[in-house]
Chain A
């Protein structure tokens, strides 16, 4: 009987998994023993790290988009559709297209993050972001005309995609305004919800002195409660008011509602075993990338490594062998520290990060990786 693997989500996790699995199970697929289907609600794969560069005029949105059809192994069936119901007991999905339900033997949820600015009154109206295509282009237009005033970057919610990106943005903005001779006319403030500037204490200890040296003001224990767009003020739960001229907000994130409705986890994040990535509440269901509630950063490198683990485990299960591959929390991350310098961190569940000294070489490494990302998506790198 044919084993049906259904992957929902065509971001980094879903795409890398589909290609990795197609390569690993090529003989079984050719023999008709395995089918791999990837379901995505749009035709394109989007590489979100490009958005960080859009507000500074360094990249265009199209640099981060490619048709999934071009990226996927020809042995993977691509279905453009939106899933509307997950029945994990019956191992069945329904979609917005009427017709027969989609049945699976193994389901992988790689549905990623969605933005929820509406959870903070005023944020959607007053705040800019670079966590969406529309946000990145609108912010670019604002930044180009911003020559003086107070730029506030407020991390409103965690977890959020790419935990280093808010630090990168203020480091890049500082450098960008300096290069243009405007820095003395622009104040920059960075806010973070807890008592340090980043969730990981090692990265926070590294970043804070850099921020102080570069006159980037910091407000910690700052959880935005509402944005008063008439007065240009962010009000925090802790009772601090912060006036701004340009507000860049990192909005609260959620997974998709279907996951909560299916009883797989809260706020759209699937509760998983953090080593095997198997759902806690259902059989034959995996989650990876942002969707998997593992406590590691919501980052592309995490999705990439997790996809390799899920691929190995699925192949073992399909072949009737005990799956042995486990995810060890491995995360890699380049961190821009300006317009032409970057740091680099590597860590896992056991070993904390130790940020590298910022250098131009690491900056170019980050840009080179961004360009070669499409090889990663294809499963070649």
Chain B
């Protein structure tokens, strides 16, 4: 998926962070937001492409979109 018009409630910039930093940053932010909120995670770590959907499924949250940019991805995750 690319180019979404979803307006996230919060954005977490984890570009430059080594694994598992981006996923932990996402989990930390999801902890602090209300159910229904959308967190946008920016990550340039390829591992996030598998980590984020796997964790979201485990936790019952939904990956609404994955936006590909030149050198990073934006993951839009809705808290259940």
Chain B, Cβ-Cβ closest to A267 = B28
B64 proximity list for chain A (CB < 8 A)? none
For chain A residues 187-232, which have a beta carbon within 8 Å of chain B? 193-195, 199, 201, 221, 223, 225
Chain B, Cβ-Cβ closest to A119 = B31
A158 proximity list for chain B (CB < 8 A)? 20, 24
Shortest CB–CB separation between residue B55 and chain A, in angstroms?
A: 6
A223 proximity list for chain B (CB < 8 A)? 27, 31, 59
Whether the pair A193, B19 counts as a contact (CB closer than 8 A) is: no
Given A225-B31, A237-B27, verify A195-B19 contact (CB < 8 Å).
Answer: no
Which of B18, B19, B54, B60 is packed against the most chain A CB atoms within 10 Å? B18
Given A221-B58, A237-B59, verify A194-B31 contact (CB < 8 Å).
Answer: no
Whether the pair B60, A239 counts as a contact (CB closer than 8 A) is: yes
B51 at the interface (CB under 8 A from A): yes
Q: How many A-B residue pairs have CB under 8 A?
A: 43
Could you tell me how many residues of chain B have their Cβ less than 8 Å away from some Cβ of chain A? 18
Shortest CB–CB separation between residue A276 and chain B, in angstroms?
A: 14
Query: Cα distance A193–B24 when bound, in Å?
Result: 8
Given A221-B58, A295-B17, verify A194-B24 contact (CB < 8 Å).
Answer: yes
Whether the pair B20, A238 counts as a contact (CB closer than 8 A) is: no
A199 proximity list for chain B (CB < 8 A)? 19-20
B63 at the interface (CB under 8 A from A): no
Shortest CB–CB separation between residue A83 and chain B, in angstroms?
A: 26
Whether the pair A194, B21 counts as a contact (CB closer than 8 A) is: no
Chain A, Cβ-Cβ closest to B25 = A266
Query: Cα distance A194–B55 when bound, in Å?
Result: 8
B23 at the interface (CB under 8 A from A): yes
Query: Cα distance A221–B60 when bound, in Å?
Result: 12
**Residues in chain A within 8 A of chain B (CB atoms):** 119, 157-159, 193-195, 199, 201, 221, 223, 225, 237-239, 295
**Residues in chain B within 8 A of chain A (CB atoms):** 16-21, 23-24, 27-28, 30-31, 51, 54-55, 58-60
Closest 3 CB pairs of A and B: A295-B18, A221-B58, A238-B58
**CB-defined A-B contacts under 8 Å, sample of 17:** A119-B31, A159-B21, A193-B20, A193-B23, A194-B20, A194-B51, A194-B55, A199-B19, A199-B20, A201-B19, A223-B27, A223-B59, A237-B27, A238-B55, A238-B58, A238-B59, A295-B17
